[in-house]
Amino acid sequence: MILSRIKNNRYFYLLVFSAPVFIFQGALVCKLHRISNFNENFNFVILLQALFTAIFSSYLLRSTILKVIDKDLVPAKSLNKKNEYKAIKISFLYYIIAMILIYVASHKGILDYRPYLDQWALINQGLNPWIGTDNVYLPIHNIVAPLAAINNSLPKLFWGCFFLIPMYFSSIFPLNFKREIDEIAKLKIFLIFAFSPFCLLVTAYFGHNDTLVAGLIVLSLSLSISNLKNINSVLSGISLALATMVKIYPIFVAPLFVLRKRKIDITFFTSYLLSIISILSISIFHWGDSTLKSVFWATEMHSKHLSFFNFSRKILGLNLDQYSIYAMALVLLTVLFLMYKHKIDLLPAVILTSSSGFTFYKLGHPQFFLFFFAAAPMTIRYIYDRKLHKNRRLFISYLMWICYLNFYETFYQLYCLMTKGYSFYIRGFGAIPYILFSTLMLIEIIKLLKKDQKALSSESLSS
Protein backbone atom coordinates (compact mmCIF):
# COMPACT_ATOMS: atom_id res chain seq x y z
CA MET A 1 0.00 0.00 0.00
CA ILE A 2 2.81 2.43 0.94
CA LEU A 3 4.78 1.59 -2.21
CA SER A 4 1.64 2.04 -4.29
CA ARG A 5 0.97 5.45 -2.72
CA ILE A 6 4.57 6.54 -3.36
CA LYS A 7 4.39 5.32 -6.96
CA ASN A 8 1.15 7.21 -7.62
CA ASN A 9 2.65 10.40 -6.20
CA ARG A 10 6.26 9.87 -7.27
CA TYR A 11 6.58 13.13 -9.23
CA PHE A 12 4.94 15.08 -6.43
CA TYR A 13 7.24 13.59 -3.79
CA LEU A 14 10.32 14.04 -5.98
CA LEU A 15 9.54 17.71 -6.59
CA VAL A 16 8.82 18.46 -2.94
CA PHE A 17 11.80 16.59 -1.51
CA SER A 18 14.33 17.66 -4.16
CA ALA A 19 13.70 21.43 -4.15
CA PRO A 20 15.59 22.18 -0.88
CA VAL A 21 18.32 19.73 -1.92
CA PHE A 22 18.93 21.71 -5.12
CA ILE A 23 19.24 24.93 -3.10
CA PHE A 24 21.85 23.47 -0.74
CA GLN A 25 23.59 21.79 -3.67
CA GLY A 26 24.07 25.21 -5.26
CA ALA A 27 25.35 26.71 -2.00
CA LEU A 28 27.83 23.84 -1.51
CA VAL A 29 29.12 23.88 -5.11
CA CYS A 30 29.68 27.64 -4.99
CA LYS A 31 31.49 27.42 -1.66
CA LEU A 32 33.82 24.75 -3.06
CA HIS A 33 34.35 26.89 -6.15
CA ARG A 34 35.36 29.83 -3.94
CA ILE A 35 37.74 27.61 -1.94
CA SER A 36 39.41 26.63 -5.24
CA ASN A 37 39.83 30.37 -5.95
CA PHE A 38 37.42 30.03 -8.90
CA ASN A 39 39.70 27.62 -10.74
CA GLU A 40 38.82 27.84 -14.45
CA ASN A 41 39.28 24.07 -14.84
CA PHE A 42 36.08 23.56 -12.84
CA ASN A 43 33.93 26.01 -14.82
CA PHE A 44 32.65 23.44 -17.30
CA VAL A 45 31.89 20.87 -14.58
CA ILE A 46 29.95 23.46 -12.57
CA LEU A 47 28.09 24.51 -15.72
CA LEU A 48 27.06 20.92 -16.50
CA GLN A 49 25.82 20.11 -12.98
CA ALA A 50 23.84 23.36 -12.96
CA LEU A 51 22.36 22.73 -16.40
CA PHE A 52 21.29 19.12 -15.82
CA THR A 53 19.92 19.77 -12.34
CA ALA A 54 17.92 22.81 -13.49
CA ILE A 55 16.49 20.83 -16.43
CA PHE A 56 15.54 17.97 -14.10
CA SER A 57 13.94 20.40 -11.66
CA SER A 58 11.74 21.92 -14.36
CA TYR A 59 10.94 18.48 -15.77
CA LEU A 60 9.66 17.48 -12.32
CA LEU A 61 7.58 20.66 -12.08
CA ARG A 62 6.03 20.06 -15.52
CA SER A 63 5.37 16.34 -14.89
CA THR A 64 3.85 16.94 -11.45
CA ILE A 65 1.44 19.57 -12.75
CA LEU A 66 0.42 17.40 -15.71
CA LYS A 67 -0.18 14.45 -13.37
CA VAL A 68 -2.54 16.56 -11.26
CA ILE A 69 -4.30 18.01 -14.30
CA ASP A 70 -4.73 14.65 -16.04
CA LYS A 71 -5.73 12.45 -13.09
CA ASP A 72 -6.42 14.36 -9.89
CA LEU A 73 -8.89 17.09 -10.84
CA VAL A 74 -11.95 14.92 -10.28
CA PRO A 75 -12.94 13.83 -6.74
CA ALA A 76 -11.09 10.73 -5.50
CA LYS A 77 -12.55 7.66 -3.79
CA SER A 78 -12.57 7.78 0.01
CA LEU A 79 -9.59 5.38 0.43
CA ASN A 80 -7.52 7.22 -2.17
CA LYS A 81 -8.49 10.54 -0.60
CA LYS A 82 -7.20 9.36 2.79
CA ASN A 83 -3.89 8.34 1.23
CA GLU A 84 -3.64 11.62 -0.65
CA TYR A 85 -4.14 13.62 2.53
CA LYS A 86 -1.31 11.64 4.13
CA ALA A 87 0.96 12.61 1.23
CA ILE A 88 -0.01 16.25 1.65
CA LYS A 89 0.58 16.18 5.44
CA ILE A 90 4.02 14.59 5.00
CA SER A 91 4.92 17.15 2.34
CA PHE A 92 3.77 20.05 4.49
CA LEU A 93 5.80 18.83 7.49
CA TYR A 94 8.86 18.49 5.28
CA TYR A 95 8.17 21.98 3.93
CA ILE A 96 8.28 23.49 7.44
CA ILE A 97 11.55 21.71 8.28
CA ALA A 98 13.12 22.72 4.96
CA MET A 99 12.08 26.35 5.38
CA ILE A 100 13.67 26.50 8.86
CA LEU A 101 16.94 25.07 7.49
CA ILE A 102 16.93 27.52 4.57
CA TYR A 103 16.30 30.47 6.89
CA VAL A 104 19.18 29.36 9.14
CA ALA A 105 21.54 28.87 6.18
CA SER A 106 20.81 32.34 4.79
CA HIS A 107 20.40 34.35 8.02
CA LYS A 108 23.39 36.62 7.27
CA GLY A 109 21.80 37.76 4.04
CA ILE A 110 22.39 36.83 0.39
CA LEU A 111 22.31 39.18 -2.60
CA ASP A 112 19.83 42.05 -2.04
CA TYR A 113 19.04 40.99 1.51
CA ARG A 114 22.40 42.26 2.79
CA PRO A 115 21.72 45.89 1.80
CA TYR A 116 18.18 45.44 3.16
CA LEU A 117 19.70 44.71 6.57
CA ASP A 118 21.96 47.77 6.31
CA GLN A 119 18.99 50.00 5.42
CA TRP A 120 16.87 48.69 8.29
CA ALA A 121 19.79 49.20 10.68
CA LEU A 122 19.82 52.90 9.71
CA ILE A 123 16.08 53.18 10.39
CA ASN A 124 16.50 51.53 13.79
CA GLN A 125 19.18 54.15 14.55
CA GLY A 126 16.75 56.94 13.66
CA LEU A 127 18.52 57.78 10.37
CA ASN A 128 17.19 58.28 6.83
CA PRO A 129 17.39 54.97 4.89
CA TRP A 130 17.66 56.77 1.53
CA ILE A 131 20.64 59.00 2.34
CA GLY A 132 24.11 57.54 1.83
CA THR A 133 22.74 54.11 0.87
CA ASP A 134 21.68 52.23 -2.24
CA ASN A 135 18.09 51.93 -0.96
CA VAL A 136 15.99 51.91 -4.12
CA TYR A 137 12.69 50.83 -2.56
CA LEU A 138 9.54 52.66 -1.59
CA PRO A 139 8.28 53.27 2.00
CA ILE A 140 6.47 49.97 2.73
CA HIS A 141 9.84 48.21 2.41
CA ASN A 142 10.90 50.02 5.59
CA ILE A 143 8.11 48.89 7.91
CA VAL A 144 9.84 45.60 8.80
CA ALA A 145 12.91 47.39 10.22
CA PRO A 146 11.87 46.69 13.88
CA LEU A 147 11.69 42.96 13.06
CA ALA A 148 15.24 43.02 11.68
CA ALA A 149 16.42 44.45 15.01
CA ILE A 150 15.17 41.27 16.72
CA ASN A 151 16.45 38.74 14.18
CA ASN A 152 17.83 39.00 10.64
CA SER A 153 15.40 36.42 9.26
CA LEU A 154 12.19 37.82 10.78
CA PRO A 155 11.47 40.21 7.86
CA LYS A 156 11.78 37.25 5.46
CA LEU A 157 9.43 35.24 7.64
CA PHE A 158 6.96 38.15 7.72
CA TRP A 159 7.10 38.51 3.93
CA GLY A 160 6.80 34.75 3.53
CA CYS A 161 3.53 34.77 5.49
CA PHE A 162 2.17 37.59 3.33
CA PHE A 163 3.14 35.53 0.30
CA LEU A 164 1.84 32.11 1.34
CA ILE A 165 -1.45 33.19 2.95
CA PRO A 166 -2.88 34.97 -0.16
CA MET A 167 -1.48 32.16 -2.30
CA TYR A 168 -3.25 29.57 -0.14
CA PHE A 169 -6.44 31.67 -0.09
CA SER A 170 -6.43 31.90 -3.90
CA SER A 171 -5.74 28.15 -4.14
CA ILE A 172 -8.50 26.89 -1.85
CA PHE A 173 -11.29 29.38 -1.13
CA PRO A 174 -14.25 30.27 -3.42
CA LEU A 175 -13.35 32.81 -6.12
CA ASN A 176 -16.50 33.08 -8.18
CA PHE A 177 -15.60 30.09 -10.37
CA LYS A 178 -18.56 28.00 -11.52
CA ARG A 179 -16.55 24.81 -12.08
CA GLU A 180 -14.23 23.77 -9.27
CA ILE A 181 -11.44 21.20 -9.12
CA ASP A 182 -11.14 18.59 -6.37
CA GLU A 183 -10.05 19.77 -2.90
CA ILE A 184 -7.01 17.49 -2.88
CA ALA A 185 -5.96 18.76 -6.30
CA LYS A 186 -6.17 22.33 -4.98
CA LEU A 187 -3.88 21.48 -2.06
CA LYS A 188 -1.45 19.66 -4.32
CA ILE A 189 -1.26 22.52 -6.80
CA PHE A 190 -0.64 24.95 -3.95
CA LEU A 191 2.22 22.82 -2.59
CA ILE A 192 3.68 22.23 -6.06
CA PHE A 193 4.16 25.93 -6.69
CA ALA A 194 4.92 26.96 -3.10
CA PHE A 195 7.57 24.24 -2.99
CA SER A 196 9.01 24.88 -6.44
CA PRO A 197 12.73 25.75 -6.41
CA PHE A 198 11.85 29.17 -7.85
CA CYS A 199 9.60 30.08 -4.92
CA LEU A 200 11.91 28.69 -2.25
CA LEU A 201 14.89 30.54 -3.68
CA VAL A 202 13.21 33.93 -4.06
CA THR A 203 11.23 33.87 -0.81
CA ALA A 204 13.22 31.91 1.78
CA TYR A 205 16.81 31.77 0.52
CA PHE A 206 17.39 35.14 -1.15
CA GLY A 207 14.57 36.88 0.75
CA HIS A 208 13.71 39.37 -1.99
CA ASN A 209 11.07 41.95 -1.09
CA ASP A 210 9.25 40.85 -4.26
CA THR A 211 7.91 38.14 -1.94
CA LEU A 212 5.69 40.76 -0.31
CA VAL A 213 4.87 42.38 -3.67
CA ALA A 214 3.75 39.09 -5.23
CA GLY A 215 1.61 38.18 -2.21
CA LEU A 216 -0.12 41.56 -2.19
CA ILE A 217 -0.85 41.43 -5.95
CA VAL A 218 -2.37 37.96 -5.56
CA LEU A 219 -4.44 39.20 -2.61
CA SER A 220 -5.64 42.15 -4.69
CA LEU A 221 -6.57 39.82 -7.56
CA SER A 222 -8.36 37.37 -5.27
CA LEU A 223 -10.43 40.14 -3.71
CA SER A 224 -11.29 41.61 -7.11
CA ILE A 225 -12.57 38.38 -8.66
CA SER A 226 -14.30 36.90 -5.58
CA ASN A 227 -18.02 37.05 -4.85
CA LEU A 228 -18.08 40.08 -2.53
CA LYS A 229 -18.60 43.59 -3.91
CA ASN A 230 -17.67 47.16 -2.93
CA ILE A 231 -15.66 46.32 0.17
CA ASN A 232 -13.51 44.02 -1.98
CA SER A 233 -12.71 46.85 -4.38
CA VAL A 234 -11.62 48.99 -1.42
CA LEU A 235 -9.41 46.25 0.05
CA SER A 236 -8.11 45.28 -3.39
CA GLY A 237 -7.07 48.87 -4.05
CA ILE A 238 -5.29 49.10 -0.70
CA SER A 239 -3.50 45.79 -1.30
CA LEU A 240 -2.22 46.78 -4.76
CA ALA A 241 -1.20 50.20 -3.42
CA LEU A 242 0.86 48.52 -0.68
CA ALA A 243 2.55 46.39 -3.36
CA THR A 244 3.27 49.50 -5.44
CA MET A 245 4.76 51.20 -2.39
CA VAL A 246 7.35 48.41 -2.06
CA LYS A 247 8.37 48.41 -5.73
CA ILE A 248 6.94 50.54 -8.49
CA TYR A 249 6.22 47.89 -11.14
CA PRO A 250 2.67 46.89 -9.94
CA ILE A 251 1.54 50.33 -11.16
CA PHE A 252 1.62 48.94 -14.71
CA VAL A 253 -1.23 46.50 -14.00
CA ALA A 254 -3.31 48.95 -11.93
CA PRO A 255 -5.22 50.24 -15.02
CA LEU A 256 -6.46 46.68 -15.63
CA PHE A 257 -8.14 46.68 -12.21
CA VAL A 258 -9.70 50.08 -12.90
CA LEU A 259 -11.01 49.28 -16.41
CA ARG A 260 -12.75 45.95 -15.99
CA LYS A 261 -15.35 44.64 -18.45
CA ARG A 262 -15.67 48.06 -20.12
CA LYS A 263 -16.55 49.65 -16.78
CA ILE A 264 -14.52 51.96 -14.58
CA ASP A 265 -14.18 50.72 -11.01
CA ILE A 266 -14.27 54.08 -9.24
CA THR A 267 -14.12 52.44 -5.81
CA PHE A 268 -10.89 50.60 -6.63
CA PHE A 269 -9.33 53.67 -8.27
CA THR A 270 -10.14 55.91 -5.30
CA SER A 271 -8.87 53.35 -2.79
CA TYR A 272 -5.67 52.74 -4.76
CA LEU A 273 -4.88 56.42 -5.34
CA LEU A 274 -5.68 57.60 -1.81
CA SER A 275 -3.61 54.76 -0.31
CA ILE A 276 -0.57 55.70 -2.40
CA ILE A 277 -0.95 59.40 -1.61
CA SER A 278 -1.30 58.65 2.12
CA ILE A 279 1.77 56.39 2.24
CA LEU A 280 3.94 58.82 0.27
CA SER A 281 2.75 61.80 2.32
CA ILE A 282 3.59 60.14 5.63
CA SER A 283 7.00 59.06 4.34
CA ILE A 284 7.85 62.48 2.87
CA PHE A 285 6.74 64.16 6.10
CA HIS A 286 9.05 61.86 8.07
CA TRP A 287 12.04 61.47 5.73
CA GLY A 288 11.67 64.23 3.17
CA ASP A 289 11.96 64.16 -0.63
CA SER A 290 14.52 61.33 -0.51
CA THR A 291 11.47 59.03 -0.39
CA LEU A 292 11.06 59.57 -4.14
CA LYS A 293 14.62 58.50 -4.94
CA SER A 294 13.59 54.99 -5.98
CA VAL A 295 10.94 56.22 -8.43
CA PHE A 296 13.73 57.55 -10.67
CA TRP A 297 16.27 54.86 -9.89
CA ALA A 298 15.24 52.47 -12.67
CA THR A 299 16.06 55.06 -15.34
CA GLU A 300 19.72 54.98 -14.26
CA MET A 301 20.16 51.19 -14.29
CA HIS A 302 21.32 48.91 -17.10
CA SER A 303 19.08 46.15 -18.45
CA LYS A 304 19.28 42.78 -16.66
CA HIS A 305 18.67 39.04 -17.01
CA LEU A 306 15.37 38.20 -18.78
CA SER A 307 14.79 41.54 -20.47
CA PHE A 308 14.99 41.77 -24.27
CA PHE A 309 17.04 44.93 -23.78
CA ASN A 310 19.66 42.93 -21.86
CA PHE A 311 20.06 40.61 -24.87
CA SER A 312 20.21 43.61 -27.20
CA ARG A 313 22.86 45.37 -25.11
CA LYS A 314 25.08 42.39 -24.26
CA ILE A 315 24.86 40.20 -27.35
CA LEU A 316 23.89 42.51 -30.21
CA GLY A 317 25.84 45.48 -28.89
CA LEU A 318 22.80 47.77 -29.21
CA ASN A 319 22.00 49.74 -26.07
CA LEU A 320 18.27 50.38 -26.41
CA ASP A 321 17.57 50.63 -22.67
CA GLN A 322 16.12 54.12 -23.00
CA TYR A 323 13.21 52.73 -25.04
CA SER A 324 12.11 50.26 -22.36
CA ILE A 325 9.42 52.51 -20.88
CA TYR A 326 7.87 53.11 -24.31
CA ALA A 327 7.79 49.37 -25.08
CA MET A 328 6.06 48.67 -21.77
CA ALA A 329 3.53 51.43 -22.40
CA LEU A 330 2.78 49.91 -25.81
CA VAL A 331 2.24 46.48 -24.23
CA LEU A 332 -0.14 47.94 -21.65
CA LEU A 333 -2.16 49.82 -24.28
CA THR A 334 -2.35 46.68 -26.45
CA VAL A 335 -3.66 44.53 -23.61
CA LEU A 336 -6.12 47.24 -22.56
CA PHE A 337 -7.42 47.29 -26.13
CA LEU A 338 -7.76 43.48 -26.21
CA MET A 339 -9.35 43.52 -22.77
CA TYR A 340 -11.90 46.05 -23.96
CA LYS A 341 -12.56 44.32 -27.30
CA HIS A 342 -12.87 40.76 -25.98
CA LYS A 343 -14.00 41.61 -22.42
CA ILE A 344 -11.02 39.62 -21.14
CA ASP A 345 -11.26 38.71 -17.46
CA LEU A 346 -8.96 40.42 -14.99
CA LEU A 347 -6.76 37.40 -14.16
CA PRO A 348 -5.66 36.55 -17.74
CA ALA A 349 -5.33 40.27 -18.51
CA VAL A 350 -2.92 40.79 -15.60
CA ILE A 351 -0.89 37.72 -16.57
CA LEU A 352 -0.75 38.79 -20.23
CA THR A 353 0.30 42.32 -19.33
CA SER A 354 2.91 41.23 -16.79
CA SER A 355 4.44 38.46 -18.90
CA SER A 356 4.68 40.68 -21.98
CA GLY A 357 5.65 43.79 -20.02
CA PHE A 358 8.50 42.11 -18.15
CA THR A 359 9.97 41.10 -21.51
CA PHE A 360 10.51 44.78 -22.23
CA TYR A 361 11.06 46.01 -18.67
CA LYS A 362 14.80 46.54 -18.72
CA LEU A 363 15.25 45.39 -15.11
CA GLY A 364 14.32 41.79 -15.92
CA HIS A 365 15.36 40.34 -12.57
CA PRO A 366 14.03 36.78 -12.01
CA GLN A 367 12.41 37.75 -8.69
CA PHE A 368 9.96 40.02 -10.54
CA PHE A 369 8.41 36.84 -11.98
CA LEU A 370 7.53 35.42 -8.55
CA PHE A 371 3.99 36.73 -9.01
CA PHE A 372 3.36 34.15 -11.76
CA PHE A 373 4.12 31.30 -9.34
CA ALA A 374 2.01 32.86 -6.60
CA ALA A 375 -0.89 33.25 -9.04
CA ALA A 376 -0.42 29.84 -10.69
CA PRO A 377 -2.88 27.88 -8.46
CA MET A 378 -5.56 30.53 -9.10
CA THR A 379 -4.67 30.49 -12.82
CA ILE A 380 -5.09 26.72 -13.03
CA ARG A 381 -8.47 27.01 -11.30
CA TYR A 382 -9.44 29.61 -13.90
CA ILE A 383 -8.18 27.36 -16.72
CA TYR A 384 -10.30 24.49 -15.41
CA ASP A 385 -13.32 26.77 -14.96
CA ARG A 386 -13.01 27.88 -18.60
CA LYS A 387 -12.29 24.27 -19.76
CA LEU A 388 -9.06 25.57 -21.26
CA HIS A 389 -7.06 22.59 -19.96
CA LYS A 390 -8.65 20.66 -22.82
CA ASN A 391 -6.82 22.98 -25.22
CA ARG A 392 -3.60 21.00 -24.88
CA ARG A 393 -1.40 23.29 -26.96
CA LEU A 394 -2.43 26.33 -24.96
CA PHE A 395 -1.95 24.63 -21.60
CA ILE A 396 1.43 23.15 -22.55
CA SER A 397 2.61 26.55 -23.79
CA TYR A 398 1.68 28.04 -20.40
CA LEU A 399 3.43 25.19 -18.63
CA MET A 400 6.64 25.46 -20.67
CA TRP A 401 6.72 29.21 -20.07
CA ILE A 402 6.51 28.92 -16.29
CA CYS A 403 8.88 25.93 -16.22
CA TYR A 404 11.51 27.97 -18.04
CA LEU A 405 11.31 30.59 -15.31
CA ASN A 406 11.88 27.82 -12.76
CA PHE A 407 14.81 26.52 -14.84
CA TYR A 408 16.46 29.93 -15.04
CA GLU A 409 16.26 30.68 -11.32
CA THR A 410 17.42 27.16 -10.36
CA PHE A 411 20.31 27.39 -12.82
CA TYR A 412 21.15 30.83 -11.43
CA GLN A 413 21.59 29.36 -7.94
CA LEU A 414 23.48 26.25 -9.10
CA TYR A 415 25.84 28.23 -11.34
CA CYS A 416 27.11 30.40 -8.48
CA LEU A 417 24.66 33.27 -9.13
CA MET A 418 26.05 33.61 -12.66
CA THR A 419 29.07 35.60 -11.57
CA LYS A 420 31.89 33.48 -13.04
CA GLY A 421 32.76 31.35 -16.05
CA TYR A 422 30.39 31.63 -18.99
CA SER A 423 27.94 33.82 -17.10
CA PHE A 424 28.25 36.88 -19.35
CA TYR A 425 26.89 35.02 -22.38
CA ILE A 426 24.35 32.99 -20.41
CA ARG A 427 22.92 36.17 -18.87
CA GLY A 428 22.82 37.76 -22.31
CA PHE A 429 21.00 34.88 -24.00
CA GLY A 430 18.72 34.10 -21.04
CA ALA A 431 15.98 36.37 -22.37
CA ILE A 432 15.68 34.55 -25.72
CA PRO A 433 13.98 31.34 -24.46
CA TYR A 434 11.71 33.46 -22.26
CA ILE A 435 10.69 35.58 -25.25
CA LEU A 436 10.21 32.40 -27.31
CA PHE A 437 7.97 30.70 -24.73
CA SER A 438 6.05 33.94 -24.11
CA THR A 439 5.49 34.32 -27.86
CA LEU A 440 4.29 30.72 -28.22
CA MET A 441 1.82 31.22 -25.37
CA LEU A 442 0.65 34.51 -26.90
CA ILE A 443 0.14 32.82 -30.29
CA GLU A 444 -2.02 30.13 -28.68
CA ILE A 445 -4.07 32.80 -26.89
CA ILE A 446 -4.58 34.71 -30.15
CA LYS A 447 -5.68 31.48 -31.88
CA LEU A 448 -8.09 30.85 -29.01
CA LEU A 449 -9.58 34.35 -29.29
CA LYS A 450 -9.91 34.02 -33.07
CA LYS A 451 -11.88 30.83 -32.57
CA ASP A 452 -13.99 32.28 -29.75
CA GLN A 453 -13.76 36.02 -29.09
CA LYS A 454 -15.19 35.61 -25.59
CA ALA A 455 -13.06 32.59 -24.62
CA LEU A 456 -11.41 34.56 -21.81
CA SER A 457 -14.56 36.34 -20.73
CA SER A 458 -16.72 35.07 -17.88
CA GLU A 459 -19.77 36.41 -19.73
CA SER A 460 -19.61 33.49 -22.15
CA LEU A 461 -18.96 30.72 -19.62
CA SER A 462 -20.58 27.54 -20.84
CA SER A 463 -21.93 24.83 -18.66
Residue 113, pLDDT above cutoff 90: yes
What is the Cα–Cα distance from 441 to 82, expressed in whole angstroms?
A: 37
pLDDT at 299: 66
Residue-level pLDDT at 159: 96
The span from the CA of 179 to the CA of 387, in Å, is 9
Rounded to whole angstroms, the Cα distance separating 221 from 382 reads 12
Mean pLDDT of 196-217: 96
Distance CA 339, CA 309 (A): 26
Q: Taking the model in full, what pTM does it have?
A: 0.93
pLDDT at 77: 52
Range of the domain at 305: 2-460
- Is the pLDDT score of 9 beyond 70? yes
Asked if pLDDT for residue 451 goes beyond 70, the answer is yes
The confidence band for 444, taking pLDDT boundaries of 50, 70 and 90, is very high
Burial of 267 (0-12, 13-18, 19+ CB in 10 A): middle
Q: How confident is the model at residue 261 (pLDDT cuts 50, 70, 90)?
A: low
What pLDDT band is residue 462 in, cutting at 50, 70 and 90?
very low
The pLDDT confidence band at residue 288, using thresholds 50, 70 and 90, is confident
Highest mean pLDDT among 5-19, 111-125, 252-266: 111-125
Backbone angles phi, psi at 441, to 5 degrees: -65, -40
Scanning 247-345, the segments in alpha helix (DSSP H) are 254-258, 266-287, 308-314, 324-342
Q: Is pLDDT of 341 > 90?
A: no
pLDDT per position as a tens digit, 388-441: 988 999 999 999 999 999 999 999 999 988 887 777 778 889 999 999 999 999
Tell me how far apart the alpha carbons of residues 178 and 240 are, in angstroms, rounded to a whole number: 26
74 pLDDT more than 80: no
Beta pairing partners, 304:
363
- At 152-203, the pLDDT tens digits run 999 999 999 999 999 999 999 988 888 888 888 899 999 999 999 999 999 9
Among 120, 126, 110, CA closest to 147: 120
Average pLDDT of the residues in 359-367: 88
The total of structural domains in the chain comes to 1
